[in-house]
Amino acid sequence: MATSTKTNVNRAGKQRHVRQLRQWLAEHLRSRFPKAEVTCLEEGRNSMLRDLVARHGLETNWPESSTWSVTMDAVVLIRCASSVTLALAKLKSDRIRISHVGEMVASCEVIRPTFAFLLAPDGLSASLVTLLRRFGRWDILRYGEQYIRVGTWDSANAEPILL
């Protein structure tokens, strides 16, 4: 019984964090692109990205989107005068590990979002911090010409503390 209660508490906590994350990401992008239309797709969690693109009639922007069999916790559209781009964010329940980075990099290599964030309330694993800071292996966060931003989700301030 205690495990079930803990799972429900963790699930409720993650849902609260995801709501905060979506709000922060949309506001962050609105401040960076004041002339753009910034839309957070609320149904992003647990929805395949390919389905979100189709539901919003955006297949012409990303013809390969029918292959995007990934889920993200936050999906934000940035519509400028001449383009539509994506920002993606994933919130992990446990510390971010190298395997989480690999999964996110693979998704970003295929999708090519303008911005990508990988966050966790407990931050990064010690081995990942060592790899990045001590050995300077920031290249593992690279996709195309961009880098995934990693860090701790600060739920008290509803914003990330980026590494």
Residue 2: pLDDT band with limits 50, 70, 90: very low
**pLDDT above 60 for 8:** no
Q: What is the model's pLDDT at position 3?
A: 46
3-class DSSP state of 76: strand
DSSP β-ladder status, 159-162 and 149-154: antiparallel
Token pair of 143, please? Answer: 């996709």
Count other C-beta atoms under 10 Å from residue 126's C-beta: 9
Q: CA-CA distance, 50 to 44, in Å (whole number)?
A: 11
Spatial contact of 108 and 79, defined as CB atoms under 8 Å apart: no
pTM: 0.91
Mean pLDDT of 50-60: 93
Find the range with the poorest average confidence among 2-6, 54-58, 73-77.
2-6
Instruction: Kindly list the domain boundaries of the chain, sorted by start residue.
Output: 2-162
Q: What is the model's pLDDT at position 34?
A: 96
Right CATH for 2-162 from 3.30.70, 1.10.3470, 3.40.1340, 3.40.50: 3.40.1340
**pLDDT above 90 for 146:** yes
Q: What is the mean pLDDT of the chain?
A: 92
| Cβ partners under 8 Å of residue 25, min gap 6 | 40, 74, 76, 87, 89, 117
Mean pLDDT of 46-56: 90
**pLDDT above 50 for 6:** no
Task: Return the sign of the alpha-carbon dihedral for residues 59, 39, 73, 141.
Answer: positive
Residues 111-137 have pLDDT tens digits of 999 999 999 999 999 999 999 999 999
